[in-house]
Amino acid sequence: MLTTTTFKRFLCNTKVVLNNIKSSHPQKPVSRFNAKHGKLFFLSNSIDLQSSFTATKNLVNPTYVSPLSVLKSSIILPLLPKNNIRLFSNTNLQSRSWNVFTASNQKYISLNRFQSYRNANGNNSNSTLTLTLFGFVFMGVTFFSTPYLFEYVPLFTYFKTHPKEMVYSIIGLNLAVFGLWQVPKYWRFLQRYFLLEKDFVYSKWSLIGSAFSQQEMWHLGMNMLALWSFGTGLSVMVGAPGFFSLYMNASMLSSLFSLWYPKIMRIGMWGASLGASGALFGVFGCFAYLVPTAQILLFVFPIPGGAWLAFMGSVAWNAAGCILRWGTFDYAAHLGGSIMGILYGWYFSELIKKEREKRMSLLRNFF
C-alpha cells in the first residue's frame, strides 16, 4: 500500500521523466513558408520524421501518446488538404526509411513535377478495363471521323492543303506544354491531364495529353527533331488527314501498352510516363513501311540497310528493354506506337495500290 510521501515522490519522478522527453524532442514552430504554402508545397525536400528515440511509457496513464503523434495531429495534419492527399511516384531513388509517419506505408520523395493527386478515399474509377475501352473507342472514332474533320472544320481544312503546317502546329503544342511545366502553379493541372500514372489515372484524357508533354529540354529537343525529320515528309506523302489519324492513334495505343505492360509482366510500376516518343515510333514505323530503302541518318551518321532495317532494330531494342527491364525509358509505349505505325503503313500502302490500279485502268480505257 502506497503512503502519501511515496506517492508524491512517484509523481515527482514521473514529471521529471516527462520533462526530459519534452526537452529532448522540442517541437519546432511551423515556418512562415510552410504556413502559407503547406497545402501545395508541403516540405519540398525529403525529410525523415522517424526518431530512434524510444520514449518511456507514461506510468500514470496506461494510454501512451508519443511526441510524434502529437506532432502529426497538431501541426502536420492541419496543413494537408482535407479532400485530396499527395502521393509520389518513384521517379527518384527512395529509401524505405523515408516514411513520413511510422504508421504509413507511403514513401515520401522530394517534391518534383511527377507527383500525382489522388482522392483521399483511394477510389479509382478509371480501371485498366475502363481505360482500354475508352482507348479503343477513341481510336475508332478518330479513324472514321478524321476525313470529315478535315473536310468541314475550318482549321483542319487549312491543314488539308498545308500538311507541313499541321506538323509544325503539333511541334508548337508540345513547346507550349513544355513551357507550362516550367511554371509551378500549372503543375497540378498538368499532372492530371498531361502525365500518365500507371497505378492511378486521374483523367482518361491523360492517355492523349501525356503524348504532348515533355518536361526536360533534351527530351523535347530529341522528340521534336524526330517529328520534324519524319513527319514533314510523311504528312505530304499520306496527306494531313492520314497523318493526323496516325499520330493520334499511335499516341493512344502507346499509352495503352504502357498501362498493360505492368499487368502482363506482373510487376509494380509507379513511375509516370510522358513524351511523344510513342507517337514518333508510329510515324517512323509507317514511314519505314512505305519507304523501306530510304536512308536514315543518326545525327550525321548514315544507318546501313535503310529505314525498314533501322526500324526493326528499334523494335528489337524496345522488346529487349521490356523483357530485361533496363534503363528508364517506357519501352512498352514505344512498342505500342511501332505496332500502330506498321498497321497504318499497311493501310496506306493498300490505298496507294488501289489508287494506282484505278489510274492504270483509266489509262487503258483511254488508249
Catalytic residue numbers? 277, 334
CA 143 to each of CA 21, 160, 168, 241, 248: distance values in angstroms, whole numbers, following the listed order: 68, 16, 21, 9, 9
Q: Is the distance from CB of 272 to CB of 196 less than 8 angstroms?
A: yes
Q: Which three cell numbers stand for residue 362?
A: 483509266
User: Quick count: other Cβ atoms within 10 Å of Cβ 62?
Assistant: 7
Integer Cα distance of 254 and 258 in angstroms: 6
Specify the DSSP class assigned to residue 231. Answer: I
| Complete DSSP assignment for 43-68 | --S---------PPPPSSSSS---HH
Q: Is the distance from CB of 207 to CB of 252 less than 8 angstroms?
A: yes
Q: Which three cell numbers stand for residue 357?
A: 490500279
Integer Cα distance of 278 and 265 in angstroms: 20
Q: Is the distance from CB of 165 to CB of 240 less than 8 angstroms?
A: no
Integer Cα distance of 54 and 88 in angstroms: 29
Specify the DSSP class assigned to residue 117. Answer: E
Q: Which three cell numbers stand for residue 258?
A: 504502357
Integer Cα distance of 109 and 99 in angstroms: 9
Q: Is 241 helix (H, G, I), strand (E, B) or coil?
A: helix
